[in-house]
Structure 1
Amino acid sequence: MNNASQAQPTVLVLMTEQEKNEFMPPDIEAGLREMFPNLVWVDAPLEVGQWHYSLREQRPEIVVCAWETPPLPLEAAEHLKYLCFLCGSVRSLVPRELIERGLIVTNWGSIVSNTVAECSLLLILSALRRVGNWSVAMRTRGEWKQGRHPDTLSLFGRRVGLHGLGAISRELARLLVPFNVELSAYSPSVPDETYRKLNIRRADSLEDLFSTSDVLVELAPGKPDNYHLVGDDLLRLLPQQAVFVNLGRGMVVDEAALVRASRERGLHIALDVYETEPLPADSPLRRLDNITLLPHLGGPTPDRRRDCGELALQNLGYYVSDLPLMNVIDLGTYDRAT
């Protein structure tokens, strides 16, 4: 156990009833209570003042929490040693200074990669089959296809480009195997061996990647250097009838350039992330015909959030056994997050 002077660390769990049902269904909750019989369960949401009071009163060594958690106060560093966050980005929850002081923070990490990759595949197929176009046209204008030659495409045998080759892209590469696609990726920091194992061509540059991709999937990280990296110059390189899919970070793509590419070149687009979320009601993206939009649904669906709970339970077991934890948020990871 990380704190050898205590037989049982003080554990505070903060979740809404819905978060509890999704992340900690009965079997996982039972495992948590068996590991920590004296844990304190606090119902969210809490006002900031109530949250700070709970932390001062309970002085937990471990906090387990999800989305509906107010930011941690700096004073929590006096007693808190491990924050087990069941979700993704911790930037709005954990001040950087707490990690600098040694607070251990974990999140869902790559455990959600399969469901995000699944959503990526959905958007690829939707864009190729023009689902966004036809869904709106049939529901609002009573339209039907004209003749036997609709403007739709198949995924089989396509050239698919991945901008970024992290955990989500690797899961997507596996899902794409049955479609016999030609895969390319641009991710300079990834070693050649990874490309070989996944049978992915290493693109020499972003220009190379965009110009040789019938389907371009944007999964680059949201670091400052990538702000509006994808703009007019790259989008113009996409071949005719190409589709552009973004499940990475909205800030990587210049949305005004996307609108221009759609209107001027007929680029078909499928998006799950945006520079401003929720997507403003007056966004030009909402008025395009050849587009499929989702409201940031790419993460784990409620039925698969138990995977995050199981990961958290495993990490908590590692923590009390003084073993290395999975998906630790160090300062580098923290700074790259959005």
Structure 2
Amino acid sequence: MTPRYLLPYPPEQIGGLPADLDALVWDGTAEPPAQRELDRVEFYCLPYMRHRAAVALLPRLPALRTVQTLTAGMDDVLPHLPPGVTACNARGLHDASTAELAVALTLASLRGIPGFVRNQADGVWDQSFQSALADRTVLIVGYGSIGAALEQRLIPFECRVERVARSARESAHGPVRALAELPGLLPEADVVVLLTPLTEATRHLADAEFLARMKPGALLVNVARGAVVDTAALLAELESGRLRAALDVTDPEPLPAEHPLWRAPGVLITPHVGGPSSAFLPRALRLLRAQLLRAHEGLPLANVVG
């Protein structure tokens, strides 16, 4: 019996797939297929940005062997996987979009764009000096594929880039330092960009001690996961005016309307939009096509987690 695939896009939209691929289509918005159809599903690609519905379907897939996400992080999926199921993430899919947003958040924060937007609404012309990215030091914490994509976009801005990952290595642009060296690098950075996955080792990585090591006036950019930052510790630094922050992710998330982080001085918040952009769909279809072809031909899957 051929394996059955549960996909968020029709095979004809993905393109380049074998005609005999047995696929069900469910995008997470309507009712799932009938249980008799789900019973044979072995490969399940979770619909993007439909986390609650997507994860809730897992117990209804008794033949499941492989889960493919369209996210790089899987911290919110792995705890729900049945034993023996192979998990594959979407490494590389969000590199362009997330790196682009990290640059946008950095530039907007340094150049005071949020204040200018508020002034525009009030018809206020307030000409003032702002910080430039040129001649600054940017520290990328969690230097993986997104970090490399971010550095590529930073090069034209004439800034210096430092790289930190779990372990030391060489990259195309220079040395990647081990996480153990982070305390000594933080005081020299003007911008610290967080790109680490959320694990028990990185939860509250940016805690009170981490933030205290950052230089006065430095900018913290979080495009990783909200819980990589200790929100209470960050609030204290923002309210004192010592640090600034640009956050695409928060803890908690979604951020409640009454949360003080919304109104903290020196903070720019976007609602976890690093991935969802026009860059998403073509890259998602390419990644899914390649993975489905591997699965259909019995080849080893890419991006296996763990």
Q: Shorter-normalised TM-score: what interval? A: 0.7 to 0.9
Corresponding position of 2:4: 10
Residue 181 of structure 1 deviates from its aligned partner by 1.8
Question: 1:37 offset after TM fit, Å?
Answer: 5.2
CA distance in 2, matches of 1:42, 1:271: 32
Question: Are 1:11 and 1:36, in contact at CA under 8 Å, matched by a contact in 2?
Answer: no
Q: Does 2:46 correspond to 1:71?
A: no
Distance 2:256 2:25 in 1: 37
Match of 1:324 among 296, 300, 303: 300
Aligned to 2:216, what secondary structure does the other structure show?
A: coil
Deviates more, 1:39-48 or 1:235-244: 39-48
Please give the residue correspondences for 1:244-259 in structure 2 after superposition, counting only pairs within 5 Å. Answer: 244-259=220-235
- In the other structure, the counterpart of 2:254 is 278
TM-score (norm 1): 0.78
Q: 1:216 aligns with which of 192, 204, 211?
A: 192
* Map of 1:55 onto structure 2: 38
Q: CA deviation at 1:207?
A: 2.2
Figure out how many residues of one structure are paired with residues of the other and give that number: 301
Task: Write the letter of the residue equivalent to 2:124.
Answer: E
Asked if 2 retains the 8 angstrom alpha-carbon contact of 1:212 and 1:238, the reply is yes
Structure possessing the higher relative contact order (Cα contacts under 8 Å, 6 or more residues apart): 1
1:166 paired residue number: 144
1:145 aligns with 2:126: yes
Query: Which one has a bigger Cα radius of gyration?
Result: 1
The structure 2 residue matched to 1:119, chosen from 77, 80, 101, is 101
Given that residues 71 and 94 in structure 2 are in contact (C-alpha distance below 8 angstroms), is that contact kept between their aligned partners in structure 1?
no
Q: CA deviation at 1:287?
A: 1.1
- Give the superposition deviation at 1:166: 1.8
1:192 aligned to which of 158, 166, 169: 169
Q: CA RMSD in A?
A: 2.8
Aligned runs of 1:236-251 on 2, under 5 Å? 236-251=212-227
Alpha-carbon shift at residue 272 of structure 1 (Å): 0.4
2:70 corresponds in structure 1 to 86
Tell me how far 1:263 sits from its aligned partner: 2.7
Rounded to whole Å, the distance in 2 between the matches of 1:241 and 1:25 is: 50
Partners of 2:205 and 2:229 within 8 A in 1: yes
CA distance in structure 1 between the aligned counterparts of 2:27 and 2:192, rounded to whole angstroms: 43
Contiguous gaps of at least 5 residues in structure 1: 1-5, 333-338
Distance in 2 separating the partners of 1:201 and 1:247: 19
Contact 2:27 2:47 in 1 (8 A): no
Judge conservation of contact 1:161–1:183 (CA < 8 Å) in 2: yes
Offset, 1:65: 3.8
Q: Which amino acid aligns with 2:86?
A: I
| Identical counterparts, % of pairs | 28
When normalised by structure 2's length, the TM-score is 0.85
Please identify which structure carries the higher helix content: 1
